[in-house]
Amino acid sequence: MILYELMDYDTLRVIWWALLGALLVGFAVTDGFDLGTGALLTAVGRTDLERRVVINTVGPVWEGNQVWLILGGGAIFAAWPQLYAVSFSGFYFAMFAILLALIIRPVAFKFRSKHESRRWRSAWDWSLVIGGIIPAVVFGVAMGNVLQGVPFRLAPDMRIFYDGAFLDLLNPFALLCGLVSLAMMLMHGAAWLVLKTDDDVAVRARRYGLVAAVAVLVLYGLAGVALWTGIEGYRVTSSIVTDGPSNPLFKTAVSQTGAWFGNYLAHPWTMAAPVSGLVGAMLAVLGLCLRWERVTLVASSASIAGIVLSVGASMFPFILPSSIQPSASLTVWDASSSHLTLFIMLIGTCIFLPLIVAYTTWVYRVLWGKVTASDIRDGRGHAY
């Protein structure tokens, strides 16, 4: 009880904002190379044996990696209920597409090698390719729309109205962000394959990884220029009550071109996020050229983490701005659950999150090493 009283409401809100960012980074980094590996499957694997090698680099770990997505969705549902309500209703068809792709992936992993037919295996291979590309693109498109503001409004009684259409989500800037996300996943998947495979698969993965890493640099740079010169950000124009009730209508906000760079100007340390995104991709290019396998994977992870965190750093304290009613935008200070709910969730997180990290670390340590064609040919380790 004493700890609860010492933990201020505004502090808990910031902690959960940071935890949400950490969970999203965890998902992007771990499940990111799953998605990238799947998307590259038919490009780096030319024969059935090579494709089995690629699949077996992620086969033992992909289920554990998706825990981060479940944790992120649960955190949004419990800690930020209004964010959950608006985003999961406004992005309903996009979320359905992601869900369908994520359902197809495990089925493909399990059924792909159950039948010797070439057509059968090819169909499941392309299912894995599609199951890797669609989530990567859609997640990026969603982030692009969040940065532009989502067309929702709040009635005085806090009822939520979403006035957008699905095709409105496919605007040029959102599609650019989708390409950034896809390039990130391809770079990360290639970095993973270079580390986990050898021979022709690794050579092809290195080639595609170089193209993807350069694409990350170019596309991320273009997105930054667009945010600075043409995309309207948002800023709060009234005083902010950090420990007040969760009612977004208690503030006023406006849209303004270049507003998303305000935090970088006010707090230069936040520049660490976009710098990590760019420098990480540069180091990934260098690592691929010099065949530094571990450096490449670490650099790719740093790039992804920096790009994801740059969205949060740019938008703070906003978590979901409204393009048609800026004052109804959801922020860290007015869209959270109650003080008690956030505190109880934090206690649970402090207990279980370290266990998840420890278990994940142990699994990767046990499964460390390259997957070779001879391992698959000899049927070692119950390969897929």
Asked, for residue 382, whether it belongs to a domain, the answer is no
Neighbours of 282 (CB within 10 A): 16
**pTM of the entire predicted model:** 0.93
Residue located via tokens 């290019």 = 285
Is the pLDDT score of 216 beyond 60? yes
In the structure, what pLDDT confidence band is assigned to residue 284 with cuts at 50, 70 and 90? very high
Is the pLDDT score of 132 beyond 90? yes
In DSSP terms, which residues pair with 233 in a beta bridge? 256
Please give the Cα distance from 208 to 285 (Å, whole number). Answer: 11
Number of domains in the chain: 1
Asked, for residue 370, whether it belongs to a domain, the answer is yes
In a 10 Å sphere around its CB, with 0-12 CB exposed, 13-18 middle and 19+ buried, how is residue 383 labelled?
middle
Asked, for residue 333, whether it belongs to a domain, the answer is yes
CA-based diameter of the chain, in Å? 68
Alpha carbon 174 to its chain's center: 15
In a 10 Å sphere around its CB, with 0-12 CB exposed, 13-18 middle and 19+ buried, how is residue 225 labelled?
exposed
Asked, for residue 290, whether it belongs to a domain, the answer is yes
Please give the Cα distance from 91 to 70 (Å, whole number). Answer: 17
Alpha carbon 53 to its chain's center: 26
Give me the count of residues in the chain. 384
Asked, for residue 13, whether it belongs to a domain, the answer is yes
The pair of structure tokens assigned to 344 is: 């109880």
Whether 320 contacts 86, CB under 8 Å: yes
Domain containing residue 372 = 2-377
Is the pLDDT score of 378 beyond 70? no
Asked, for residue 383, whether it belongs to a domain, the answer is no
pLDDT of residue 381: 52
Asked, for residue 98, whether it belongs to a domain, the answer is yes
